[in-house]
Chain A
């Protein structure tokens, strides 16, 4: 579903990704862990085509499509979803307007009919209930006045509405208490599907008790330096990351 080969990328003249390889099949959940500054968030930005992030070498192919040929919005329409670590607040645009514009764009791309306002309203209410967000938030600005946990749940709701092929969850657990964590994890687990690949980027092993990955990778110094099963996460929690620096060389 997602094949990344020798991906090299830089931002502001600084090389962050230095030859990253990753092969994720549909139906799988992969965890990416690593020390801070390794490039975990950068991977998501590069995959989504964020301005300022330049691919210097390598390729990224999603479900047979070369992502580098598509604009950010087209990558999203094609099925790429990135759940941000710190979602931005947009006071002037309501959650409702934003979600509808997003869903309409993706549905149009897929050849589906646009939802009429009533149907969409119903769908939005249903999904906000599923993530425990009070419906009233739909009238407020995007992420306006939201706590960290509420923002993460809004990200999850968007993922539910857009039904992506590849979802990258960037530090979805950071800053959450155990209750919020469980709500988010439950939501993500419900979205597992044979047609979908999920990448969970995390700094803490704890999340992986709830979203059990098929594979765990360690991203250090711009590359995947080690891959393994879910036990690798436990090993990392015990030993930290420094023991890998030897292995990377």
Chain B
């Protein structure tokens, strides 16, 4: 057993928070003991810079008297309910609690008996269905160590339009075993909600700050969930996260994932179509710079007939950054009339950038429609030349073309305030010179 796992188990055994979750925690610890620490030969860790994970885990205790300065994270005009967690601990002062009773948005640490029951019922529900369950060791680390989490529970037929903005701030002042965050979203039959997960970190050159997150989205019959996951941490972070979605009959999941920054960022996103009529849309982008390494692995499972899924993932890599994308679709024999699409396109802006992309389709039903495609390209010289022949300076044309690569995904965001928040941020990634950005969007 790895030395990290022993340390984790030791911390876990001393964890006295959320006693009503002790059974869940024990289960996580058992799985952890049988699990495998990331290793070079493991397919699900292939191309990963394992030393970056190991080093981050090596940071056990931080000794500092200085409270970290926390930026106030808010998206203008969103009018959201904001729930803030700092290094995994609920920040009541920084949060705005909901006013009505149709929705339950409550930290685990403040859950009443009914809410505890909801949590106990659904925690791990989506995760347990994940293929190769034993590979999800960080989910079990999370399960063993969490001291708090957030429950978002929308009651039957409640169409809750106010966005729920969950902010996870990492200060860099916590140890690797501490910074664990957990989100459980449960939509009952016919419910609707919008949840935005937002990961940020303090400006930090220290490449040993780690955050480990698990999010589960349980979407009930005929329910609709709009989900956004913005991972905008600074360069120093090591972020390991997962989203596991469980889709019931006739449900809809619309998800948008943005991965910026980070020394190493690994996101596993699994979607289980467990009942007919469900539809999932996953739009994602990763934009690493410098020597950042971003890893996105998606898995869509069609277990039953008549479900549709669509995945559009775009990557833009600059400098010497690396990206890994693995998009897997598994269609069971009985999943007839499935429609599943997957597209991954990558743009390399620099000779030193590298991307490994692997779409995988495993289809056992014979009456389905599937498509998948993966491309790696550089800025098209022909397009660049065309723009130059119209007088557009080369530098500006390059930026318009680079931004254009992801523009489609950003332009399709339904939440206008979010679009207004992200567009300038993304544009600035390509250049700090605003005169070169004036024609974008």
Query: Measuring CB to CB, which residues of chain A are less than 8 angstroms from any residue of chain B?
Result: 48, 50-51, 71-73, 75-77, 81-82, 84, 87-88, 90-93, 97-98, 100-102, 104-106, 109, 141-142, 158, 162
Which of B385, B392, B407, B440 has the most chain A CB atoms closer than 10 A to its own CB?
A: B392
Interface string of B382-416 (1 = CB under 8 A from A): 11011111111110100011011111100000000
Cβ-defined contact, A77 with B401, below 8 A: no
What are 30 inter-chain pairs, A to B, with CB distance below 8 A? Answer: A48-B389, A50-B385, A51-B385, A71-B388, A73-B389, A73-B392, A75-B389, A77-B391, A81-B389, A84-B386, A87-B386, A88-B382, A88-B383, A88-B386, A90-B386, A92-B401, A92-B408, A93-B383, A93-B400, A93-B407, A98-B387, A98-B390, A98-B392, A98-B400, A100-B439, A101-B390, A101-B392, A101-B400, A101-B439, A109-B391
Q: How far is the CA of A75 from the CA of B385 in the complex (A)?
A: 12
A88 to chain B, nearest CB (A): 5
Query: Which bracket fits the contact residues of B?
Result: 20 to 34
Of B381, B386, B403, chain A has the most CB atoms within 10 Å of the CB of: B386
Given A93-B383, A100-B439, A102-B390, 10 further pairs, Cβ under 8 A: A76-B390, A84-B386, A88-B380, A90-B401, A92-B404, A97-B440, A101-B387, A141-B404, A162-B390, A162-B391
Chain B residues positioned under 8 Å from A98 (CB to CB): 387, 390, 392, 400, 439
Query: What residues on A are CB-neighbors of B439 within 8 Å?
Result: 97-98, 100-101, 104
What distance in Å separates the Cβ of A47 from its nearest Cβ neighbour in chain B? 10
A104-B400 Cα distance, complex, nearest whole Å: 15
The A-B contact count (CB < 8 A) is 83
Assembly CA distance A142 to B408 (angstroms): 13
Chain B residues, Cβ within 8 Å of A92: 401, 403-408
SS class, residues of chain B in contact with chain A: helix
Closest to B387 in A: A98
Q: Known A90-B401, A90-B404; judge A102-B383 contact (CB<8 A).
A: no
Closest CB of chain A to B418's CB: distance in Å?
20
Most buried by A among B383, B387, B393, B396: B387
CB-defined contacts of A77 to chain B, threshold 8 Å: 391
Closest Cβ–Cβ distance, residue B285 to chain A (whole Å): 12
A87, A97, A101, most chain B CB atoms within 10 A? A101
